[in-house]
């Protein structure tokens, strides 16, 4: 199995506060802050998702003391690929020179990074890879209707990455368990209105916010409790919750269900907004760089997004 040996992230330079948005959308800092916890977000100008992914990926490789040529696998979780094909992972391979890596994208929207961690499990279990790079990267701003205040204030762009390496028999750190699920009956509650099957544009985001909120809260609680139960672990075993950063109220509700005090919950939604598949690795790297984790800490990662897709990962740091 694998352990995480490096993290990295990248945010575009164009930072917009809630105040900035309120100059061209009918919204306010107080509404966005009270309902979501978001204070600012970053939007790309000229960069593509692959550019964000390259910067986060290289930072993670540096943190892990590996080179691009050491990689056997690159998985990019994204719902905003540069092109319909080839995969953004193939483009990233070319840009960083990871010539030995098999590369593909995962499209599980906000749960994509967790899906990536879960898929990687199989590659390590069957000893097909020694080193993998899992990146969550998004340019969500390209799917936003800036006249729809119910969605455009919620999202941001960015990328986060983790380098995974095969555990040695002596390693006590590493992945404990992942869980991934989908409830396709709810695809209409959160979706774009475009894409290759429908039109020549990718469309824009539409969301029935309250319904999505309700499903997020109940499914995330279940995912987290099920993961603990399957490992015979208690809520008190969790050292840090690293949740998908969609809404501070959803994060608080999961933290409450797990009886976690605020110091144990990594919150970056105020700084990054909802960056979909990038949100967990961005939060992971932020907390790692803050020196929050110590060897042996138990991390619980969880995500919920369009699809509905959801899942979690228990990791010993």
Binding site for ligand UT7 (CB under 6 A): 27, 31-32, 35-36, 110, 149-150, 153-154, 209-210, 212-213, 216, 246-247, 250, 274, 304-305
Partners of 135 in the β-ladder: 76, 161
Residues 6+ apart with CB under 8 A from 42: 11, 12, 13, 14, 15, 16, 156, 157, 158, 272
- Do the beta carbons of residue 120 and residue 156 sit within 8 Å? no
Q: Which of 244, 247, 272, 288 is catalytic?
A: 244
State the minimum distance, in angstroms, from the CB of residue 274 to ligand UT7: 5
Tokens at 247, concatenated: 């809404």
What is the distance between the alpha carbons of residues 158 and 14, in angstroms, rounded to a whole number? 11
- Measuring CA to CA, which residue among 1, 77, 5 is closest to residue 293? 5
Exposure of 260 by Cβ count < 10 A (0-12 exposed, 13-18 middle, 19+ buried)? buried
Residue 295 Cβ, how far from ligand UT7 at the closest point, in Å?
31
- Active-site annotation holds for 272: no
Helix (H) / strand (E) element for 29: namely: helix 29-36
Choice between 149 and 264, CB closer to ligand UT7: 149
Ramachandran class of 112: left when φ > 0, alpha when ψ lies in -120 to 50, beta otherwise? alpha
Residue with Cβ nearer ligand UT7 (79 or 179): 79
**Residue closer to ligand UT7 (CB basis): 286 or 293:** 286
Q: Report in angstroms how near the CB of residue 31 gets to ligand UT7 at its nearest.
A: 4
Report yes or no: 152 and 146 within 8 Å, Cβ to Cβ.
Answer: yes
Question: Of 179 and 274, which CB lies nearer to ligand UT7 in the complex structure?
Answer: 274
Minimum CB separation of residue 260 from ligand UT7 in Å reads 19
Active-site hit among 110, 131, 219, 247: 110
For ligand UT7, the closer CB: 95 or 249: 249
The residue with its CB nearest to ligand UT7 is 209
Q: What is the spatial distance between Cα 80 and Cα 274, in angstroms, rounded to a whole number? A: 14
Q: CB of 34: closest distance to ligand UT7 in angstroms?
A: 9
CB of 206 to ligand UT7, least distance (A): 12
Q: Examine the residue annotation and report whether 244 is marked as an active-site residue of this protein.
A: yes
Active site residue 65: no
DSSP string, 80-136: S-SSSSS-HHHHHHHHHT-TT-EEEEE--GGGHHHHHHHHHHHHHHTT--SEEEEEE
CB 46 within 8 A of CB 14: no
Nearer to ligand UT7, 20 or 297 (CB): 20
Query: Which residues are marked as active site?
Result: 110, 244, 274
């Amino acid at each position: 199995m694998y352990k995480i040996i490096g993290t990295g992230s990248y945010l575009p330079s164009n930072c917009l506060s809630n105040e900035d948005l309120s100059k061209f959308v009918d919204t306010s800092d107080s509404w966005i802050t009270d309902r979501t916890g978001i204070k600012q977000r970053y939007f790309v100008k000229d960069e593509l998702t692959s550019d964000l992914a390259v910067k986060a990926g290289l930072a993670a490789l540096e943190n892990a003391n590996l080179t691009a040529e050491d990689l056997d696998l690159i998985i990019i979780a994204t719902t905003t690929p540069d092109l319909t094909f080839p995969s953004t992972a193939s483009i990233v391979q070319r840009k960083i020179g990871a010539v030995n890596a098999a590369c593909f994208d995962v499209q599980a929207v906000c749960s994509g990074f967790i899906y990536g961690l879960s898929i990687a499990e199989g590659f390590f279990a069957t000893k097909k890879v020694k080193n993998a790079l899992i990146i969550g990267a998004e340019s969500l701003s390209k799917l936003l209707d800036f006249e729809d205040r119910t969605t455009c204030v919620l999202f941001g762009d960015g990328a986060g990455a983790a380098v995974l390496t095969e555990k040695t028999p002596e390693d006590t750190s590493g992945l404990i368990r992942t869980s991934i699920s989908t409830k396709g009956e709810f695809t209409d509650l959160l979706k774009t209105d475009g894409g290759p099957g429908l039109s020549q544009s990718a469309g824009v985001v539409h969301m029935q916010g309250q319904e999505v909120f309700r499903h997020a809260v109940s499914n995330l609680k279940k995912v987290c409790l099920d993961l603990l139960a399957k490992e015979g672990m208690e809520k008190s075993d969790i050292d840090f919750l690293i949740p998908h950063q969609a809404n501070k109220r959803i994060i608080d509700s999961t933290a409450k269900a797990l009886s976690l005090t605020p110091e144990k919950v990594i919150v970056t939604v105020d700084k990054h907004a909802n960056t979909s598949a990038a949100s967990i690795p961005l939060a992971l790297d932020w907390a790692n760089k803050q020196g929050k984790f110590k060897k042996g800490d138990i991390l619980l990662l969880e995500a919920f997004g369009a699809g509905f897709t959801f899942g979690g990962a228990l990791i010993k740091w």
